[in-house]
């Protein structure tokens, strides 16, 4: 009996001594499973960014298909409604045409607020607020709610469990502000799940052609202002009252700059990478040419999962609209019944002064900047494959013809 009791005591003692070790290994296993299944809190930086470089094999299919309410509002504080699709750029690459198509097929757009121009339906201009107002924005939850209110109408009359609703902001300057976008989503849902379910599209265009199109667009707007300027007593246009962008307007000569002048004053100066300023700091804007595609995309790839970002080619949009739209169609999971819609040309402005070709001397200067940047882009996209419907390899840019004579 004493021997039996001694053995029992030793068994109990063994169990008691082994219990902490068992609990330790059990907790370690749970922790490992948690880290493998989702991003841990320790992986988040001071902005609550989530490291998105992990496996993506199971993420793509469920981003817009879970039952988390209209615009995933069940994941958000106060059930606010951020857009779940962002067309982030780039300017003068077909974003207006694609946004127009998406609106016609039923994608919900931003609600224009009193006093705003009509194009705010396409472009909410939340993240480039400083550029449009000259004032600093706070990227906190209270300001995120202001942004979210623009899309609240998308869920009006909809079941809160309906997850098929798509709402889009197509502000092309958004490409400049990946950190601000991430902070906004994480302020609404600190777990990062809401940010994981957003989808981003970007259209890339041959950089010199994009630069020329940018110039033509704003030169046209500037000439309109010249024509509508108040007439002075001698019957001539009062060019002193004209408010054109300094990028396009020669205030000393009181005329629109030539493309060569615009290139020297803007493109060549802003051709180096400038990191996005701290969204929580004092500065908001970054002076950087929009044609530095690889540099922008690296920032987005670091903050969002690669399969959340569909990179599109403007050249494919022009040469093979069907394939281009099929990629968008598949990426967003759109209904097959909308396949007969076609793109419409938007912003086709020509007052007879449109520059059709750049000078060959100017193109040589621009080639020195953009050729190596384009090669960097091709390598980046090859090494970082995107969603399955994305063009692979990415279609290399085709350069336009140049002219040896001015005009």
pLDDT digits over 81-107, tens only?
999 999 999 999 999 999 999 998 889
Report the DSSP beta bridge partners of residue 359: 403
Residue 287 confidence (pLDDT) = 79
Assess whether pLDDT exceeds 60 at residue 131.
no
**pLDDT tens sequence across 285-315:** 677 888 999 999 999 999 999 999 999 999 9
Assess whether pLDDT exceeds 80 at residue 379.
yes
Label each residue of 169-209 as H, E or C: ECCHHHHHCHHHHHHHHHHHCCCCHHHHHCEEEEEECCHHH
Point out the least confidently predicted range of 64-78, 362-376, 379-393.
Answer: 64-78
**Whole-number Å distance between alpha carbons of 311 and 313:** 7
Residue 162 confidence (pLDDT) = 53
Residue 284: pLDDT band with limits 50, 70, 90:
low
Assess whether pLDDT exceeds 80 at residue 57.
no
Residue 240 confidence (pLDDT) = 53
**pLDDT tens sequence across 336-373:** 666 566 787 666 677 778 999 999 999 999 999 999 99
CA 230 to mean position of chain CA atoms: 39
Select from 389, 383, 394, 405 the least CA-distant residue to 258: 405
Higher local confidence (pLDDT), 32 or 279: 279
Most confident of 3-12, 222-231, 245-254, 358-367: 358-367
Higher local confidence (pLDDT), 243 or 46: 243
* Structure-token pair, residue 278: 């701290």
Assess whether pLDDT exceeds 50 at residue 234.
no
**pLDDT tens sequence across 310-339:** 999 999 999 999 999 999 999 999 876 665
Distance spanning both ends of the chain, measured CA to CA: 112
Higher local confidence (pLDDT), 280 or 262: 262
How many contiguous H segments (helices) and E segments (strands) does the chain have? 12, 7
**Whole-number Å distance between alpha carbons of 387 and 304:** 13
Residues 6+ apart with CB under 8 A from 168: 83, 85, 86, 87, 99, 102, 107, 108, 109
Residues 6+ apart with CB under 8 A from 317: 94, 97, 98, 203, 324, 343
Assess whether pLDDT exceeds 90 at residue 61.
no
Instruction: Assess contact for 240 and 225: CB atoms under 8 A.
Output: no
Query: Is the torsion defined by CA of 398, 383, 390, 333 positive or negative?
Result: negative
Assess whether pLDDT exceeds 70 at residue 1.
no
Residue 174: pLDDT band with limits 50, 70, 90:
very high
Residue 133 confidence (pLDDT) = 60
Select from 292, 286, 290 the least CA-distant residue to 274: 286
Point out the least confidently predicted range of 24-33, 229-238, 393-402.
Answer: 24-33
Point out the least confidently predicted range of 19-33, 34-48, 149-163, 371-385.
Answer: 34-48
Rg (CA), the chain: 27
CA 52 to mean position of chain CA atoms: 16
Assess whether pLDDT exceeds 80 at residue 399.
yes
Rounded to the nearest 10 degrees, what angle do helices 293-303 and 360-383 cross at? 20
Residue 246 confidence (pLDDT) = 78
Residue 167 confidence (pLDDT) = 96
């Amino acid at each position: 009996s004493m021997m039996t009791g001694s053995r029992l005591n030793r068994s109990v003692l063994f169990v008691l001594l082994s219990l902490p070790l068992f609990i330790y290994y059990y907790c370690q296993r749970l922790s490992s499973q948690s880290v493998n299944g989702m991003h841990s809190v320790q992986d988040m930086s001071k902005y609550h960014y989530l490291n998105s470089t992990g496996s993506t094999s199971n993420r793509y299919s469920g981003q817009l298909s879970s039952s988390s309410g209209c615009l995933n509002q069940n994941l958000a504080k106060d059930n606010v409604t951020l857009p779940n699709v962002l067309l982030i750029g780039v300017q003068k690459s077909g974003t207006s045409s694609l946004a127009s198509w998406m609106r016609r097929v039923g994608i919900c757009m931003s609600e224009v607020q009193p006093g705003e121009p009509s194009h705010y339906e396409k472009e909410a201009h939340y993240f480039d607020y400083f550029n449009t107002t000259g004032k600093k924005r706070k990227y906190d939850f209270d300001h995120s709610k202001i942004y979210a209110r623009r899309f609240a109408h998308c869920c009006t009359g909809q079941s809160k469990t309906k997850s098929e609703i798509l709402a889009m902001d197509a502000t092309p300057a958004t490409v400049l502000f990946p950190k601000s976008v991430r902070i906004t989503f994480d302020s609404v849902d600190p777990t990062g799940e809401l940010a994981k379910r957003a989808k981003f599209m970007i259209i890339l265009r041959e950089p010199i052609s994009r630069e020329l199109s940018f110039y033509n667009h704003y030169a046209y707007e500037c000439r309109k202002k010249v024509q509508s300027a108040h007439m002075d007593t001698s019957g001539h246009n009062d060019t002193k009252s004209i408010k054109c962008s300094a990028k396009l307007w020669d205030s000393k000569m009181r005329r629109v700059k030539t493309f060569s002048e615009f290139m020297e004053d803007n493109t060549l100066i802003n051709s180096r990478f400038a990191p996005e300023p701290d969204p929580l700091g004092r500065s908001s804007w970054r002076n950087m040419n929009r044609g530095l595609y690889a540099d922008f995309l690296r920032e987005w790839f670091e903050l969002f999962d690669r399969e959340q970002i569909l990179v599109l080619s403007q050249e494919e949009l022009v040469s093979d609209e069907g394939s281009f739209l099929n990629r968008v169609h598949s990426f967003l999971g759109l209904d097959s019944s909308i396949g007969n819609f076609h793109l419409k040309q938007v912003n086709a402005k020509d007052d007879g002064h449109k520059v059709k070709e750049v000078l060959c001397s100017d193109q040589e200067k621009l080639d020195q900047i953009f050729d190596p940047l384009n090669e960097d882009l091709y390598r980046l996209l090859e090494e970082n494959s995107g969603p399955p419907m994305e063009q692979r390899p990415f279609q290399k840019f085709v350069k336009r013809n140049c002219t040896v004579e001015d005009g």
